Amino acid sequence: MVDNLGEKLPELLKLKQACEVLKVHPNTLRAWDKKGILVAVRIGEKKIRRYRKEDLLAFINKKNIK
């Protein structure tokens, strides 16, 4: 399941895209970023959040194992 998902995702995902993949609210993802659970990459002067594909896939795999 995760393997097929990884083929379809871009290398960096916007907040909304990452939320759709993880099926969580944007505020949840922001909170996870602050707590270091799933850290975003900050881009540009505005420090826009982007999430690495490999980080999302690793997070999903970790959650599926538990």
Residue extents of the structural domains in the chain: 2-65
Which two structure tokens, joined as six digits, stand for 10? 């871009």
* SS3 state at 18: helix
CATH 3.40.50.10070 fits 2-65, yes or no: no
Q: One-letter amino acid identity for 15?
A: L
| Cα Rg of the chain, angstroms | 12
Q: What's the whole-model pTM score? A: 0.79
pLDDT for 9 equals 72
pLDDT digit string, tens, across residues 11-43: 999 999 999 999 999 999 999 999 999 999 999
pLDDT tens-digit series, residues 2-12: 555 556 777 99
pLDDT at residue number 64: 76
| Cα-based torsion angle of the residue sequence 50, 21, 63, 25 in order, rounded to the nearest 10 degrees | 80
Residue 1 has pLDDT above 50, yes or no: no
Give mean pLDDT, residues 45-59.
Answer: 94
